[in-house]
Structure 1
Amino acid sequence: MGSDELRIGTAEREEAARLLADHFGMGRITPDEYEIRVTDAYAATTLGDLRPLFRDLPPPHPGFFGPPPMSAPVYAQPTTQLPMYGPDPYAPPAPVPYAPSMPMPYSPRSKTVAGVLQILLPFGVGRFYTGQTALGVAQLFATFCTGVGVLWPIIDGIVLLVNGGSDAEGRPLRP
């Protein structure tokens, strides 16, 4: 008995009808042809009844028409687990590492402004300007709680003017 004489079941008929619907959706067959071919597919009893329905169509054809596909070579699985999902688009950007040989980028804050604020308003305003709020609060507390604490922000302002400093992120203040 040849393969065209083999009987088919409901699963094969439904696969053929589904593939014919795909070909109809791609515009390869007209609505009238589709209706006739699907009716013939559901009426088919052997493989030989289904083959003419796909003879003039390009693949995909029903998988049960031809010999089973050759098995693909088996390759070793990678040892590292790949992430299931891509990077989170809403996550903050990763910090850019700087090599020791690369100069640190300057802060948008100025050492001159920070120093002058420390001297003219001697209760930590210059440190609040640079983003170092903990140091600014300490200087504010020292200024109002102890009378001698006024010297600390003034000396700090002079040091900022002469040597510069850094902002809260550790970047050097602009000259």
Structure 2
Amino acid sequence: MESDELRIGTAEREEAARLLADHFGMGRITPDEYETRVTDAYAATTLGDLRPLFRDLPQPHPGFFGPPPPMYAQPTMYAQPTMQLPMYAPPMPDPYAPPAPVPYAPVPYSYRSKTVAGVLQIVLPFGAGRFYTGQIGLGLLQLFVVLMTGVGMIWPIVDGIMLLNNGGLDAQGRPLRP
């Protein structure tokens, strides 16, 4: 795999150019040498084209060159540790992508029926449908309004029609069965 005829890609060329920039920043090569070597690195097609660019430079060398030569194999007081970088980074998530859809979870229906609740409200207009759905507070309020005022009998009848038309919720917040 470490043959000089092995073809390289853009990632290897960019890693070589980055390491040459590091050597230039440390003063190991002149600006003219840097420009020539980077141009040669981007023009390289094989490992053999990149190796001469680093022959006279100390570590770090590109990680895809393989292990360092034997004279660097044993660490000394002045040797720089080498770190091999992965050739390809894992893909980053797209920050502009829409959020993933949330799977639909159906709400469980109540075991009580909207038809029974609506008919009870209309036939017994003093909150019987609301007592049936488990909404005791609303049922007591309708009972109180009907007993105190005769005109208040309209509210449970309209409420019964609304229950038959649109349905409603039981005391636990579940929709009434159709």
TM range (shorter): 0.3 to 0.5
Task: Give the TM-score normalised by structure 2.
Answer: 0.42
Task: Give the TM-score normalised by structure 1.
Answer: 0.43
